[in-house]
Amino acid sequence: MAKHVVSVVLLWAALTAVGEALVFADLFPTVGSHEAEDFDQIFRVLLFMGIPVFNFVVAMLVHSFLRFRAGGPQEGGATFKGTGAIPKVWLLLTSCLAVTTIIYPGLTGLRKLQSEANGYGWADTKGTLIIHVQAFQWGWQYDYQEYDGEKLAVSVFSLHGDGNELVLPLEVGARFEINSTGAAYDFATEEPSSGVLHSFWIPAFRMKIDAIPGRTTTMTVKPTELGDYGRDPAYRVQCAELCGLSHTTMDTPVRVVSQEEFKTWLAEQAKATKK
């Protein structure tokens, strides 16, 4: 018995050591925002906790598979039924593990998500750049409302492949107020339909929230890295809720620029809108 325990522990340790290398691997797309750093951090913590658990099961299975087969090299003949202390210890250990995971990174992460000033999805925190997002079948419209207290009248209408971008300034909290409208035109019935569900998602920022007809949802992010779709597909707005025929192509390029560039861009857009 003892030698089996030793060999399983060794196997488990080896598998875990190899597995934990994943924690240091770069699994993620570009870290484009403050929130993305937190996401990657929590993901790594969960990976760090999950790999030993999974590998314990694997080690037990592999060892039993190799050493306890009938007619193979085994001692066998055990008859214990698992009515003693082991199940109780197991129950205690797994409960501790579950409670730990719930508290950290679960609830602590959630608290950060909902209260921190830089704002995750649902927190009602003020970004200084306010953008109304209207999702429709199948594209996006971005109405820039306010920047640093100044009212804006800039609007970007974007369909798949037309190159119109969502432009965001670096290191500025951008608050998206998202709605879904029925602006779409149904080619089959030739009738405009009212709004359906969409989901506003930018992979580089690790954030998404649904666009719902009749409700406004909010999401605040602070970009921390310059980037654009041309060089990095993680910089895109992607619909993440099946919304009908062209759901697959309901995406828009995103470009993060410096604050000066953003002001120039705003001025250009304002001019173009006036014309």
Partner 1 sequence: MWALRTLSGGLGMGLLFFYIGIGLTAVLRNWFGYPEVWDRDFNVTIGYVFGLLGWVMGMGMWGSWGREWFGLRTHSYYIRGWQRYFTWSTDHKVIGVQYLATFTIVFLLAGLMAMLMRLELATSGLQFFDKSQYNTILGLHGILMIAVAVAAVVGGFGNYFVPLLIGADDMAFPRLNALSFWLIPPVALMLLITPFMGGLEVGWTAYPPLSVQTQTAQGFWNLAIVTFGLSSILSGLNFVVTIIYMRAPGMTWSRLPMFVWSMFVTAWLALFYTQGFAVALLMVTLDRIAGMGFFNADDGGDPLLYQHVFWFYSHPAVYIMILPGLGIALEIIGHFSGKPLFAYRYAVGAFLGILGLSGVVWAHHMFTSGIPNYLHGPFLVMTELISIPTGLIFLSALGTIWMGKLRLTAPMLFALAVIFNFANGGVTGIFLADVPTDIHLQDTYFVVAHFHYTIVGGEIFAMFAAMYYWFPKMTGRMYNMKLAKLHFWWMFIGFNVTFMTMYWPGIQGMNRRIADFPAAMDGINFFISLASFGLGAGFLVFVGNMVYALFWGPAAEANPWGARTLEWQTSSPPPLENFDEPPMVTGHPYDYGLPDAPAHARFGPGLPAGTPAGGGGGGGG
> Which residue bears the tokens 């250990």?
93
Closest CB to partner 1 among 35 and 168? 35
Phi, psi angles (nearest 5°) of residue 130 = -110, 125
> Which residue bears the tokens 């055990």?
78
Near partner 1 by CB under 8 A: residue from 34, 175, 247, 255: 247
Near partner 1 by CB under 8 A: residue from 6, 48, 76, 162: 76
Closest CB to partner 1 among 28 and 265? 28
Secondary structure class of 94 (helix, strand, coil):
helix
The tokens describing 5, both together, are 């325990």
The tokens describing 268, both together, are 């250009």
Residue 136 host element (H or E): strand 129-136
- Are 220 and 127 in contact by the 8 Å Cβ rule? The answer is yes
C-alpha distance from residue 100 to each of 37, 47, 112, 263 (Å): 22, 14, 17, 46
Residues 127 and 137: their CA atoms lie apart, in Å, by 27
Near partner 1 by CB under 8 A: residue from 245, 267, 270, 272: 245
Measured from the CB of residue 267, what is the shortest distance to partner 1 in angstroms?
Answer: 31
> Which residue bears the tokens 């779409």?
184
Phi, psi angles (nearest 5°) of residue 215 = -140, 150
Segment 18 to 47, residues that bind partner 1, using CB under 8 A: 27-29, 38-39, 42-43, 46
Closest CB to partner 1 among 185 and 260? 185
Which positions ≥6 away from 256 have C-beta within 8 Å? Answer: 32, 167, 168, 169, 170, 223, 225, 226, 227, 228, 235
Segment 98 to 117, residues that bind partner 1, using CB under 8 A: 98, 101-102, 105-107, 109-110, 112-114
Near partner 1 by CB under 8 A: residue from 77, 187, 271, 274: 77
Stretch binding partner 1 (CB under 8 A), from 67-75, 126-134, 144-152, 256-264: 67-75
Measured from the CB of residue 165, what is the shortest distance to partner 1 in angstroms?
Answer: 15
Question: Rule CB under 8 A: is residue 161 a binding residue for partner 1?
Answer: no
Measured from the CB of residue 166, what is the shortest distance to partner 1 in angstroms?
Answer: 16
Question: Rule CB under 8 A: is residue 7 a binding residue for partner 1?
Answer: no
Segment 199 to 238, residues that bind partner 1, using CB under 8 A: 199, 201, 203-204, 206-210, 212-215, 217, 233-234, 236, 238
Stretch binding partner 1 (CB under 8 A), from 58-66, 143-151, 254-262, 267-275: 58-66
- Are 165 and 198 in contact by the 8 Å Cβ rule? The answer is no
Near partner 1 by CB under 8 A: residue from 10, 14, 17, 242: 242
Measured from the CB of residue 260, what is the shortest distance to partner 1 in angstroms?
Answer: 29
C-alpha distance from residue 210 to each of 4, 86, 166, 215 (Å): 51, 46, 18, 10
Position 193, amino acid: S
Near partner 1 by CB under 8 A: residue from 80, 150, 190, 275: 80
Asked if omega into 105 is within 30° of 0 (cis), the reply is: yes
# residues near partner 1 by CB under 8 A: 91
